[in-house]
Amino acid sequence: MTFLNENPKLIFDNIKELLVLGVKDRSHPFHTPIFTSNNIENIPNSRIVVLRNFDDINLIINFHTDFRSPKIKEIQYNNNTCFVFYDPKLKIQLKIQTITKINNQNEVTKKIWAKTSLSSRKCYLAINPPSSLSEFPKDSLPVHLKGVDPCKDESEKGFNNFTVVQNNIKTIEWLYLAASGHRRLKINIKKNKISFNWLIP
Ligand SMILES: Cc1cc2nc3c(=O)[nH]c(=O)nc-3n(C[C@H](O)[C@H](O)[C@H](O)COP(=O)(O)O)c2cc1C
């Protein structure tokens, strides 16, 4: 462990492995990171999202959302965003700065939508947009879908709302908490050129 945690190249390889695992393993703590964008008044806005894909060659993190969600407008206004991951067992935190691209009704969303289950497609069938006000507590799904999945035909109505948010990694800050001494490494990615800096934790 000491060797791994003093070697930037091995740390970077381990981060990539953990992000791959975070996509595949729904119980892994990296499956549900915090994603932060800024609103129009430059006030940070954070929320949990599900890690849907990690491209370990191009270093891109994906999550899915509804195009009508306020975070889309925030990202369109300012595409500088960040993620925070923490694994309490490994005692590893990742702060990842990203540049975000929104995909809606394009080839990227078509390809992923085709593989999306009916139960996941259902999320995109809400009648009123996410974050709209409601007079009483409810979701906005059509009543006939209470407790059941839509059929394939009906599920297609969600496609226009289905959005793939792609986040290009600019920097990764890795923090490892250890009784023997904490360690902190900054990984800078510029046009696929990787450089490392140790930081005081
Ligand atoms: C475990 C968990 C997973 C979530 N995954 C997503 C997700 O992948 N995409 C998403 O848009 N919202 C997801 N949410 C809901 C968001 O945290 C947030 O409440 C919602 O997107 C509204 O965010 P906004 O108003 O900031 O746009 C998730 C929430 C939880 C608790």
Indicate whether 63 pLDDT > 60.
yes
Query: For the chain, which domains are there?
Result: 4-131+144-199 (2.30.110.10)
**Sheet strands (E) in the chain:** 34-38, 44-48, 53-55, 60-66, 80-87, 92-104, 162-176, 183-190, 193-199
Tokens of 148: 């059941």
Give, in degrees to the nearest 5, the angle at Cα 53 between 191 and 142: 135
Over the stretch 102-116, which tens digit does the pLDDT of each residue have?
999 999 999 999 999
- pTM of the entire predicted model: 0.96
Is the pLDDT confidence value at 54 over 90?
A: yes
Question: How much is the average pLDDT of 150-156?
Answer: 97
* Nearest residue (CA) to ligand 1, atom 14: 49
Please tell me the predicted confidence (pLDDT) of residue 161.
98
22-51 pLDDT, tens digit per residue, is 999 999 999 999 999 999 999 999 999 999
- The reply to whether ligand 1 has any atom less than 6 angstroms from the CB of 47 is yes
Q: Is the pLDDT of residue 98 over 90?
A: yes
- Is the CB–ligand 1 distance for residue 118 below 6 Å? no
**Ligand 1 neighbourhood includes 69 CB (under 6 angstroms):** yes
Using a 6 Å cutoff on CB, does residue 8 contact ligand 1?
no
